[in-house]
Amino acid sequence: MKRGFKKFLFGLWEILEVSLIAAVTVFLIRTFLVQPFLVSGASMEPNFSDGNYLLVDEVTYRFRTPERGEVVVFRYPLDKSLFFIKRIIGMPEERVVSQNGRIKIFKNGVEIMLDESYLLPTAKPSDNFDIKLSADQYFVLGDNRSHSFDSRNWGAIYRRDIVGVARLRILPIRDFGVFEAPSY
């Protein structure tokens, strides 16, 4: 009887040990490497739709700065408990100008025209703005410009608020895939 009880306790300990190691591993991966993100709303259509389940890479920006065209998840500037997903359009120390839906970027007096082929033709609203970014600010916009709450509404975001870059769509399965930033 005593031997059977010891065997039972040893088996229970092994299960607890494996469970603890798995829980710690998942915690570390989710905290420092990759975080899941559920897209909510239509602001990033047609590239990301409501209900898409993404994996956000939290490691890349520890080694390099965010780049124009990347889709990032960040803390909403007016409520840090909320997370948003948008595309980086303006980089630090640039001037972002929109006239009749056409975005122009000015860096050191040089104009950069954006080829935003990832947008639907109907996604370009005719709003006008002119914003100068500081050394640690990014200007972000939704891909569905006429249905997006973004930097046009609440201003630029700071580097410290960017959580990571969207890398992989897991769900729905038919849209499974890896994302690359467009080259401008």
Integer Cα distance of 183 and 70 in angstroms = 10
Single-letter amino acid, residue 106: F
43 belongs to the catalytic site? yes
Catalytic residue among 2, 6, 43, 146: 43
* DSSP conformational letter for 114: -
Integer Cα distance of 182 and 115 in angstroms = 9
Catalytic residue among 19, 86, 107, 183: 86
Integer Cα distance of 20 and 119 in angstroms = 46
132 belongs to the catalytic site? no
Residue located via tokens 């947008």: 119
In Å, how far are 37, 56, 110, 150 from 94, measured between CA atoms? 29, 26, 10, 17
Write out the catalytic residue numbers: 43, 86
